[in-house]
Structure 1
Amino acid sequence: MDTNAMAGAPQIFDQGLIRARRNRIAAQGRTTESDFLLSRVAEDFVERLGIVHREFALAASIGAYHGLLAERLRELPNVGDIIDVESSERCLSLSVGRKIAAKDDALPFAAQSLDLVVSGLSLHLINDLPGVLVQINRALKPDGLFLAALLGGETLKELREAWILAEEELFGGASPRVAPFADVRELGSLLQRAGFALPVADSDVVRVTYESPLALMRDLKAMAASNMLIERRRTPVSRRLLLRAAEVYQERFGLPDGRIPATFEIVTLTGWVPHESQQKPLAPGSAHVRLSDVLKPRPKNP
């Protein structure tokens, strides 16, 4: 990949902080409650890959966390060896199977060396996502498959609004606290720009409930998903601001039973490296029926 392109990419996420937070959660081991989104993605990937009629001898899981996704995919008969790639050494120590400690944006694979690349809830934290998609495309063999799940633009919209309103009320302005997640259409176009054929981007909005806003924030911390923006305010959050944000959340979004909702949008990207065996669009002028004839109104019955 062009290192100059990486240097010019907007620096939104603090990669050192992301690695440190993943190291911290690794000390707690795997927890079912905080892994619920990743488990959902893993089940979806098992279903999607299970109906693909081809073998994937060598695969890589990018941004593997503690290896849950690869562990589930190893159960499939058409998936062979999977290598977990993760920047957090402590998270990687929980992974079972082959593993490489490496940054998500500098993939350690030779050109055309992989049959499958997957990623579960990690690539939305990359500063140069277009560049990483190009790297993935290059690492895959012709007719290789890329399958990834990222958090989309609807994610944590309630929490984002509550923080903004609370800070504006108390301090007359707001600092960034919730990551700016990409739109599903933007992500789909990035696949095309990276050279993938048959690109598909689909969205699944997951709505869960918590007993309180503070319980949601604790869960995000356990996922290593709390604020990791470079432009974040570096001073600790005051108790006054924290409680006011929780109050605003409850006031604006609270449910009749006292619980609060939280929205997570999971955008799944699918793309294939071009190969001659894949379906091709018809060449211009090769259709046997004119579009004007198709759109012509049908004659009414007498």
Structure 2
Amino acid sequence: MLSLWRQRLITRTNATLRLPLKSYSTVSSSPLAFQVFDRNVKKMQKDRAASDKEESRVVDYLKDEVAARVSDRLLDIKREFGTVVDLGSGCGHIVKHVDSDMLQKLIMCDMSEKALYRDADQNYEVNVERQVVDEEYLPFKENSLEAVVSSLSLNWVNDLPGALIQIRQSLKPDGVFIGAMFGGDTLFELRTSLQLAETERESGISPRVSPMTDSSDISRLLSRAGFTLTTVDVDEIQVSYPSAFELMDDLRAMGESNAVLSRRPLLKRDTLLAAASIYKELHGNEDGSIPATFQIIYMIGWEPSETTPLPKKRGSANASLKDVL
């Protein structure tokens, strides 16, 4: 009966993906002007998650799904790339969805060496190089990369504008950046339940779920970083769990636990139990499970070049929009 409860269901816009049953059984220390996340804690969380290979592979379902959608966007660009950098690659989610018709070599970069090498014994269709890289301090030379992709990593970066600027500067003219981040509505069910429980049991709240950005912010940040022909779109993935406890277990196994600097170190047992009850009462499904919503923001930006299309001058149109409509 327990194994049946562990079955998860990802709900997509046009398709439903059933997931398998689960059996339970060098970072720079330079200070930043503004810090939200403890990067050392995040590295330790990713190391710990990757150390348990069996557990972490079972919970790859979310990151694999988002990586597939990032890869689809790269495939839409009718160009064969020589080398592509996967920034914040984790254990290797994007590499599962690319082939030699898309690119020749993928450079996987992550701050966690254990995550990078978790699946080092796997064979892929493209050549793979692994580098330990902190997303906040990129080692790449200016105008040296054809393309950079990033899936569910930049949402843990303190200086996101600075990271985007570094990515753009590393791209060759007409190079492309394709990324995906968790959006502001991610895990809103868990966030509200924890806030209500803490207010009731502890007379106050603390940040239990990471603060996240929204699509309008990303659009402005891409333009501010100097990208052109920017595109931003939003999607949602909803996963059903037996209860809030299994959801938090999976987040921990993914290496996606809270790493906010101002977080409280412990969550009291009675507060956790209250949060789980509130979650099921406010958001529960009819079958007794609870939904967890992951909002994903996808972004595309191009490094300007001489061949970049430019908008026509104002008033140069030769057809009336009124006539077209």
TM over 0.5: yes
- Per the alignment, residue 51 of structure 1 pairs with 76
The structural deviation recorded for 1:45 is 2.4
1:92 positional shift: 1.5
For residue 191 of structure 1, give the secondary structure of its aligned residue in structure 2: helix
**1:242 equivalent among 269, 272, 275:** 272
Report the equivalent of 1:41.
Answer: 66
- Specify every segment of 5 or more residues in structure 1 that has no aligned partner in the other structure, as ranges: none
Distance 2:214 2:67 in 1: 22
Counterpart of 2:108 in structure 1: which amino acid?
D
Structure 1 match to 2:291: 261
Report the CA distance shift for 1:230/1:11 in structure 2 as closer, same or farther (over 3 A).
Answer: same
Whole-angstrom CA distance in 2 between matches of 1:55 and 1:297:
37
8 Å CA contact retained: 2:82, 2:146 = yes
Which of the residues 102, 111, 115 maps onto 1:87?
A: 111
Q: Report if aligned partners of 2:186, 2:295 keep a CA contact under 8 Å in 1.
A: yes
Structure 1 window deviating more from structure 2 (92-101 vs 155-164): it is 92-101
- Distance in 2 (alpha carbons) for counterparts of 1:47 and 1:101: 26
- Distance in structure 1 (CA, Å) of the matches to 2:235 and 2:324: 37
2:97 aligned residue (59, 63, 72): 72
CA RMSD between the two structures: 2.0
Which residue of structure 1 lines up, in the alignment, with residue 143 of structure 2?
Answer: 112
| Offset, 1:140 | 0.5
1:168-183 equivalent positions in 2, closer than 5 A = 168-183=199-214
* 2:305 aligned partner: 275
- 174, 193, 202: which is aligned to 2:224? 193
Which residue in the other structure is 2:8 paired with? Answer: none
- Could you tell which deviates more after superposition, 192-201 or 38-47? 38-47
Aligned counterpart, 1:135: 166
- Report whether the alignment pairs 1:29 with 2:53: yes
- Aligned pairs for 1:218-237 (under 5 A) are 218-234=249-265, 236-237=266-267
Deviations 1:3-49 (A, max 9, x none): 9x9732x2111100000011001111264431112111222123222
Q: How far off is 1:204 after superposition?
A: 0.5
Please tell me whether Structure 1 or Structure 2 has the larger radius of gyration of its CA atoms.
Answer: 1
Report the CA distance between 1:159 and its aligned residue: 0.2
The alignment partner of 2:32 has SS state of: helix
Shift of 1:94: 2.2
Offset from partner CA, 1:185-207 (integer Å, 9 cap, x none): 11111111111111011000111
In structure 2, the partner of 1:215 is 246
Residue by residue over 1:251-284, the C-alpha shift from the partner in whole angstroms, topping out at 9 and shown as x without a partner, is 1111111100110001111011112222211022
SS at match of 1:7: coil
- Judged with a 3 Å threshold, the aligned counterparts in structure 2 of structure 1 residues 12 and 296 are, in CA distance, closer, same or farther, namely same
Instruction: Output one character per residue of 1:231-256: Cα deviation in whole Å (capped at 9) or x when no partner.
Output: 0012x222111111111111111111
* Identity rate, percent: 38
The amino acid of 1:54's aligned partner reads: R
Query: Does the aligned pair in 1 maintain the 2:87–2:110 contact within 8 Å?
Result: yes
Match of 1:15 in 2: 39
Amino acid aligned to 2:81: F
Q: Which residue does the alignment assign to 1:161?
A: 192
8 Å Cα contact 2:148-2:177 kept in structure 1: yes
Aligned length: 289
CA displacement at 1:95 relative to structure 2:
5.0
- CA positional deviation for 1:225: 0.9
> Deviation of residue 147 (structure 1)?
0.5
State the one-letter code of the partner of 1:279: P
Aligned partners of 1:6 and 1:131 also within 8 Å: no
Indicate if the aligned counterparts of 2:88 and 2:151 stay in contact, CA closer than 8 A: yes
SS in 2 for 1:279: coil
With structure 1 as the length reference, what TM-score do the two structures score?
0.91
The answer as to whether partners of 1:6 and 1:128 remain within 8 angstroms in 2 is no
CA contact (8 A) 1:144 1:272 kept: yes
Q: Secondary structure at the match of 2:233?
A: strand
Unaligned runs of 5+ in 2: 1-27, 121-127
